[in-house]
Amino acid sequence: MPTYYKWRSAKIQTQKHEYPSLEVTNHPLRVEVRNLKLNASKSFIQSLHKWSSSFEELDPLLRFEQMNLEHNLDPIEKSDDAINYSKIWSVKCTAILNKYTTGEKLTIISSYLPGGEKTLLRQVSNLNEKVKHRLEQLDDFDETSVRKTMGLSQQEFVTKIHMLDDEIKKAWDTEQRVKAFKIAIQCSKLLSDINVMQFYPSKFVLICDVLDNFGTLVFNRLKKKSFGSDSVKFEDIDTNLVPESARETCQNWMFKMASIRELLPRLYMEMALLKCYVFISKQEIKPAIVRLIKMIRGIGNPLVAIYVRVYLCKVASSLFGKESECYFYDNLKEFLEEYQQIFQPAMAKKFGTQLLTADQYLSLYIPAIDWLFSGTLNTVPCKITFLEELLQVCDNTENSELLLCCLLSAFDSPNIIKKSSDILGIIHKSAEHMVLLSQILTSLGEHLCHAEAYRQPSSEALSQTWWKIANNMKSTADFLQVLEPWLQFACTQLSIQHINMLLRGTIRYMIKSSKPADGYSSQIRSAIKRMLKSIPDVEELFLMDAFMPLVELVQTSSARTMMAKTVLSVFFERYNSVQIEDHIIIASLMRLCCILHDSINAVTVEDETKVCADLINKFIQTVSYQDDFQQQLNFYVDCRSAFIKLDSVLVTLVHGVHALSTRAGGARGGWLPRACAAYCFVTVPSLQCALARAQLYLLGAHAALLGACVGQAEANLKALVGLIPDIPQYIQEDGQNKPTHDRVLGLLCNFLSTLLILPDNMDSNSKAYILSGFIKIMERIHWKKTDPLYYTLLLRTLDLLCHMTQEKYVYHIDGVLSNDELYGSEEEFIEVLENHATNICQEILVVLKALGDVKETKKQYNLALELFWRIIKRSDLKESSMTSLAVNLWVLSQKMQDSNNNFAKTMLSALESDTSAEGRRLFDKLKAM
């Protein structure tokens, strides 16, 4: 058992110092701004780049994306004048393959799939027999060699096409070029089959790749035979330099192609081999394209015919680039001449037997027409004039909706906006018969969303016209699809009254609909989200009487929750003001927050709960009733009852009430600080986390003391003391167990600092009874004595006891009578404090011994010096017990000191500067050791 030492605190005399003052012209913490003289040829960003580049790190995903962009950027794309049609084609192909899918069974006809090939092997001795043998192979298409594979799924069909592509490459590599040619012909024949129309655009893309690969094989062979190298580009080939043998070989391929009896495969094969004409005569290529444009007229099926034109334009663009744009225009004119064939009864019967709707059938033509438009628009001199011509064609043509739909997607927004009235007039004239009405109106609305003019009379006329059309639409899904862009247009161009009328009409339409709104919740939410993002002042939406009814039109819990989350998220993203003061907006947001809160249950995941809590917290933090403190407190009371499930929201409410209490500084000791303190004291026990409760109790005590509500502060501190044993050593955060050691230490040190200004309750029989209760709690908690948390708290408690024995405390709160004034250094009060200090000192000596027993010499060394420092600075060295304890601690520290003993040297220097006689005697005594 350590020797008993009676603690006696020293009376510290406060001294006033006169410090010299200096006049300064600049604030010492002001950042010095230097003017940089920049090179006139460099921008500011470029000048700073060499300084910032070493600190900038590109996001890894963005780095890969940037690398891909740089890799895909070829010389054609870098040019400002040229257009990379290959890139455009690749993007369109990807979109086609993703959109045009089917679940129907497909058929493929070929004699060269595994298990179906028929090979004719014959030894030939001379060139004539070799040519004759190849012609026999070319003509060998008897029924026994062709195999039809039926019942294929979409994925199986794609696999078969890839297998045929591989067969072409294998046959080519094994000198079986006629076989490769026959496979390509059979692939092109597949494009005459429209038994599964829905998949036709994707089938076209797949087979085009096969034909392109075959054409490349032939071209590369002829190029190698002509120049002995594959590095020569098409545009660099001089026909006059092609050797006669290569020219004859090329003519042989053309003769083989011309011998194909059926029109469709002959056209496709000639297009695939079109660039090979360069080995005969480069001047023959463009006339051949013109001839092919006219030959396509012989194809009776309009769907098959337009995709042949697409492939012809694709091949021409790969050969001639910008020079090929005239062929796009020629093919588009040919298509317009044959336009009515799309709607012939035979085609209607075909897609009807396949259970396709009219809009699904017409949508098959859209990718092809878009491709023809993409090149045509680059060759016309005046786009607005061309648009007027096409609109005139649409106005005079029956069933013009397909053409109208495609030109809306092809032309840019400025031109469409200029002719929006004419376009809407054409739509209005034929709206009852249009099967693509929703797509056309949606596309027009998207263009109008880019209009720059604001609130013009023409905008209101447009809105009235489209509403007349949309209001008569039978499909609710189509109506909502059209509604989304037109509502955005209304938000940017029209008045609040007009937008409100549209919302009312939308509600009436949804109520009259045969299906409940819950089935269309995602579309309604998407439309509302665009409104919130596009309207200039987002607060105006909540002032409309139809907005909240539209938001709450859906009734299922999940749909209402998603709607509320969407509205709140976008609102707080766009809300620019610091505070919300309008009562209508507050009530609307409160309703949405309640929907979010009520959706939380026992099975709600933690991330979802956190998102909801964050949105509710933003709402609470932005609501302000200015100087109406009672109304603000009532709002917090309503929020507490509405959001009782969310701890983080309750914490936000407590902080808000404390801020309100602080703002009401003029009413110190009045009803508001007491009401705020009562609110917090009642709310905090609802929290699940003991550490959070303890922190808020301490914060409540601070707020109560600032409001001169000593009783409420005392109640909070008592509750905090009783809560200390319940604070866990670890808490769950972000899925991990994190220690609470540092937080608890900071909390309790703050608590001890607060006790210095808290006056005792005079009705209590105990002096410093809250501090006494804290010391007893520390004795009851089974803390490990060698834990730094434990002995650090002992040292901080000793510091507090020393300060509480002073005649005047170092800090006070206005209006609060602390114990220095309350007791006036009463001996009984001082004796109680010094008894506590003695016990604390004895406990620290026990800890020192325990540290020595477990060989924690470093901790023991530091703790001994910490206690030594408090003795020489805060104890009365006239007492022999204090001097004796200081000497013993110094001796103990010197036994354990290491090479780095600056800590001890600093303390000894401080003791040397002590002017008191007791301090000098102790210094001399220690120095002599």
Q: How far apart are CA 499 and CA 483, in angstroms?
A: 12
Mean pLDDT confidence for 689-711:
92
Q: What are the pLDDT digits (tens) for 559-574?
A: 999 999 999 999 999 8
Least confident among 25-34, 138-147, 386-395, 760-769: 138-147
pLDDT computed for residue 856 by the predictor = 87
Do 562 and 525 contact (CB within 8 A), yes or no? yes
Residues 809 and 711 in one domain: yes
- With respect to residue 358, please indicate whether it lies within any of the assigned structural domains: no
Tokens of 827: 């001996």
Mean pLDDT confidence for 323-347:
92
Residues 6 or more apart whose Cβ sits within 8 Å of residue 686: 644, 647, 650
Whether 736 shows a pLDDT value over 90: the answer reads no
Q: How far apart are CA 609 and CA 596, in angstroms?
A: 9
Q: CA angle, 498 as apex, 493 and 500 as ends, to 5°? A: 120
Mean pLDDT confidence for 434-460:
85
Residues 720 and 825 in one domain: yes
Residue 381 dihedral angles phi and psi, to the nearest 5°: -70, -35
Mean pLDDT confidence for 260-272:
92
pLDDT computed for residue 496 by the predictor = 92
Residues 823 and 860 in one domain: no
At residue 668, the 3 state secondary structure works out as: coil
Whether 297 shows a pLDDT value over 70: the answer reads yes
- With respect to residue 861, please indicate whether it lies within any of the assigned structural domains: yes
The DSSP output letter for 535 is S
Residue 215's identity, in one-letter code, is G
At residue 554, the 3 state secondary structure works out as: coil
The DSSP output letter for 236 is G
Q: How far apart are CA 245 and CA 226, in angstroms?
A: 8
Mean pLDDT confidence for 104-114:
76
Number of domains in the chain: 2
* Exposure of 671 in the CB half-sphere (CA atoms within 13 A): 3
Tokens of 793: 């708290």
pLDDT computed for residue 124 by the predictor = 42
Q: How far apart are CA 197 and CA 262, in angstroms?
A: 21
Tokens of 147: 């195999």
Q: How far apart are CA 811 and CA 360, in angstroms?
A: 81
Q: What are the pLDDT digits (tens) for 180-230?
A: 999 999 999 999 989 999 999 999 999 999 999 999 999 888 888 888 766
Residue 365's identity, in one-letter code, is Y
> Alpha-carbon torsion 317, 321, 326, 329, what sign?
positive
Residues in the chain: 929
Tokens of 584: 């209508």
Q: Give the range of the structural domain holding residue 928, as residue numbers without chain letter.
A: 856-929
**Which of 782, 801, 836 represents a domain boundary (last residue)?**
836
The DSSP output letter for 543 is T
Average pLDDT in the chain = 84
Tokens of 560: 């209402």
Residues 754 and 811 in one domain: yes
**Which of 836, 868, 890 represents a domain boundary (last residue)?**
836
Most confident of 151-160, 400-409, 813-822: 400-409
Q: How far apart are CA 204 and CA 303, in angstroms?
A: 11
Whether 639 shows a pLDDT value over 70: the answer reads yes
pLDDT computed for residue 227 by the predictor = 80
Q: How far apart are CA 329 and CA 336, in angstroms?
A: 11
Residues 6 or more apart whose Cβ sits within 8 Å of residue 337: none
- With respect to residue 506, please indicate whether it lies within any of the assigned structural domains: no
Residue 695's identity, in one-letter code, is Q
Most confident of 418-432, 586-600, 804-818: 586-600
Residues 6 or more apart whose Cβ sits within 8 Å of residue 608: 600
- With respect to residue 731, please indicate whether it lies within any of the assigned structural domains: yes
φ/ψ bin of 115: left (φ > 0), alpha (ψ from -120 to 50), beta (otherwise): left
Do 541 and 532 contact (CB within 8 A), yes or no? yes
Q: Confidence class of residue 457 from pLDDT cuts 50, 70 and 90?
A: low
Q: What are the pLDDT digits (tens) for 740-782?
A: 889 999 999 999 999 999 998 877 777 888 999 999 998 888 7
Whether 69 shows a pLDDT value over 50: the answer reads no
Residues 832 and 860 in one domain: no
Count the Cβ atoms, other than its own, within 10 Å of residue 344: 12
Residues 903 and 776 in one domain: no
Q: How far apart are CA 196 and CA 105, in angstroms?
A: 8
Residues 729 and 824 in one domain: yes
Residues 807 and 871 in one domain: no
pLDDT computed for residue 146 by the predictor = 64
Q: What are the pLDDT digits (tens) for 488-540?
A: 999 999 889 999 999 999 999 999 887 888 889 999 999 999 999 999 999 99
Residues 701 and 830 in one domain: yes
Residues 822 and 862 in one domain: no
Tell me what percent of the residues of the chain surpass a pLDDT of 70. Answer: 87
- With respect to residue 203, please indicate whether it lies within any of the assigned structural domains: no
The DSSP output letter for 665 is G
Total-model pTM: 0.79
Least confident among 196-210, 241-255, 301-315: 241-255
Q: How far apart are CA 440 and CA 424, in angstroms?
A: 10
pLDDT computed for residue 198 by the predictor = 92
pLDDT computed for residue 454 by the predictor = 60
At residue 110, the 3 state secondary structure works out as: strand
Q: Confidence class of residue 622 from pLDDT cuts 50, 70 and 90?
A: very high
Question: Which H or E run includes 149?
Answer: strand 147-152
Q: How far apart are CA 106 and CA 193, in angstroms?
A: 10
Q: What are the pLDDT digits (tens) for 651-662?
A: 999 999 999 988
Owner of token pair 């309009």: 302
Q: Confidence class of residue 458 from pLDDT cuts 50, 70 and 90?
A: confident
Burial (Cβ within 10 Å: 0-12, 13-18, ≥19) of residue 901 = middle
Q: Confidence class of residue 896 from pLDDT cuts 50, 70 and 90?
A: confident
pLDDT greater at residue 456 or residue 805: 805
Residues 828 and 695 in one domain: yes
pLDDT greater at residue 346 or residue 41: 346
Burial (Cβ within 10 Å: 0-12, 13-18, ≥19) of residue 292 = buried
Do 743 and 694 contact (CB within 8 A), yes or no? no
Crossing angle for the helix pair 557-574 and 583-598, to the nearest 10 degrees: 140
Question: Which H or E run includes 731?
Answer: strand 730-733
* Cross-strand pairs, 732: 737
Mean pLDDT confidence for 870-879:
85
Tell me what percent of the residues of the chain surpass a pLDDT of 90. Answer: 49
- With respect to residue 795, please indicate whether it lies within any of the assigned structural domains: yes
Owner of token pair 């009676």: 6
Residues 863 and 907 in one domain: yes
Q: How far apart are CA 292 and CA 278, in angstroms?
A: 17
Q: How far apart are CA 834 and CA 299, in angstroms?
A: 110
pLDDT computed for residue 147 by the predictor = 67
Q: Confidence class of residue 55 from pLDDT cuts 50, 70 and 90?
A: very low
Residue 675's identity, in one-letter code, is A
Distance spanning both ends of the chain, measured CA to CA: 26
Owner of token pair 């309703």: 591
Question: Which H or E run includes 46?
Answer: helix 44-52
* Cross-strand pairs, 737: 732
Q: 705: closest CA among 669, 672, 750?
A: 669
Whether 636 shows a pLDDT value over 90: the answer reads yes
- With respect to residue 195, please indicate whether it lies within any of the assigned structural domains: no
Q: How far apart are CA 234 and CA 245, in angstroms?
A: 19
Mean pLDDT confidence for 329-348:
92
